[in-house]
Each structure stands twice: as structure tokens, then as C-alpha cells.
Amino acid sequence: MGKILNQINKNIEKGNSLFFLLLDPDKESMPKMREVAENCEEAGVDAILVGSSFLISWDNGEKVRLLKENTKLPVILFPGGVKQLSPHADAILFLSLISGRNPRWLIEEHIQAAPIVKKFGLETIPTGYVLIESGKLTSVVFVSNTLPIPSDKVELVVAHCLAAEYLGMELVFLEAGSGAERPVPENIISEVKKNVKIPVMVGGGIKTPDTARKKVEAGADIIVVGDHFEKQGYGLLKEFVEAVHR
């Protein structure tokens, strides 16, 4: 197991829940990314994720380097595809979109990425990525050309998460999609948590610290928020972190 995952697991084993800030290189400028990176440590953020389901920017690698230079926090790639790789990150969520049946996102991108990941020396965090239906068509659903799991089919979500664990994945990511109308429901989170041993990450449509807290109380080990800060600015960053850490 790599250093970053080990650190995450140790923290969770101690009973802590973690807050990961998602930065989308398409949405934030270089100066903004630098400023946010500098503020993250003080706010108590546990790690920074960088990625987008459909990246337009050509300077992603530079932005990751800039982040690394301006924070001691782990910078983890959360890539929508092979073109988002960067040697400057600490680790990569090596995601397989297991709720979908599109071979490209189940294995193909991974084969394209693997030799580059090795060359870059990136720590890989094998992650089962599970999309949950959330009220509106999200970018990740459209771009991946996969169907999300209906949010009332809890047993289907649990089955996918168990399969992820049995396949040796180290994390499961319950994803409503960036800017989702409805975040992943608490009953899904608690059922998944009851059934799997690997850490449960939850993201998509979490717009308030109170909602983040409710997801933690339901069993989420890691909360991911991006869209709220892109739209409303970073004023509530500390409140989000405190709601998750409390």
C-alpha cells in the first residue's frame, strides 16, 4: 500500500472522517488555484483532488505542479481520462466506473494510462466508482455514456460496492455527479457502510456544511466537495471541514 492511502486509512481507523476539496482545472485560474492551495492547510482540508469529467484546459499539468508547490497537503488526481495524468501529483484515484457497462471507463483508459502512471511514479489508489442517479443529467453520466444506479435501488448499490471490495479495490466512491440536484442519500451510504470494509467516499451536490455532516453521520469516511466553492467562493471552506471533522 502506498504512503497516501496508508495515511488516509490510518486516519479513518482512528475514527476520523476526512474532507477532500475538489478543484476542477477548467473552473479555476492559476492565481486562484495558488490562493486556494495556500488556504487549504489552515482550513484543515485533508487532501486536494484535481480533475474533471471532461477537461478542456491544456495546462492541467502546470496547475497540478502549482498546487504541489503551494501546499504540503496530498494532491491526488481524480481524472476523467488518460489526458489528465500529471507527474506532479502525489497519487491518483485509479477509478473503474463499475456502475457502468462501458468498457472504456471500466478498463480501457486504465490500460492507456498504466505505463504513464508507472513512468511518473504515481501512487495508485484503486477505487470503485459508483454513479447514483441524482435528479438531473450530470456531466459524468453524459461523458461516460453510462447509466447511474437508481437511487431507490439500495441493494444494487451495495452489490456493486461489495464487488469492488472483492476485486481488491481500496476505496469506494459513491458519486451523485458534480453539481447534482440531490446528493447521495443517507440510507444508501449507511447500507454501503454496513456491508463493506473499505472506506466510503461520498461526493456530488453537497452544498452545505450541514449536508456534509449528515453524510458523515450516515457513514461516509471521506466527503468530496467542489461545485459549491466554484460557484460561491471559498468563504465556507473551514465550516465544511469542521462539519466533517466534528
**Toward ligand 1GP, which CB reaches closer, 119 or 203?**
203
Q: Of all residues in this chain, which one has the CB nearest to ligand 1GP in the complex?
A: 203
b/e per residue, 174-211, with b = 16+ CB within 10 A?
Answer: bbbbbbbeebbbbebbbbbbeebebbbbbbbbbbebeb
Asked if 21 touches ligand 1GP (CB under 6 A), the answer is no
| Stretch in the footprint of ligand 1GP (CB under 6 A) among 2-10, 59-67, 113-121, 200-208 | 200-208
Contact yes or no for 191/158 (Cβ under 8 A): yes
Contact yes or no for 167/128 (Cβ under 8 A): yes
Residue of 205, 216, 240, 244 that binds ligand 1GP (CB under 6 A): 205
Residue of 79, 81, 128, 226 that binds ligand 1GP (CB under 6 A): 226
Burial of 13 (0-12, 13-18, 19+ CB in 10 A): exposed
CB of 213 to ligand 1GP, least distance (A): 15
Site string for ligand 1GP, 179-198 (x = CB under 6 A): xx------------------
Closest CA to 167 of 216, 84, 95, 116: 95
Question: Parallel, antiparallel, or unpaired for β 222-225 and 18-23?
Answer: parallel
Beta strands in the chain (DSSP E): 18-23, 47-50, 75-77, 91-97, 123-131, 171-175, 200-203, 222-225
Residue of 8, 18, 22, 36 that binds ligand 1GP (CB under 6 A): 22
Residue of 74, 79, 204, 209 that binds ligand 1GP (CB under 6 A): 204
Asked if 221 touches ligand 1GP (CB under 6 A), the answer is no
**Toward ligand 1GP, which CB reaches closer, 87 or 135?**
135
Applying CB under 6 A, which residues contact ligand 1GP? 22, 175, 178-180, 203-206, 224-228
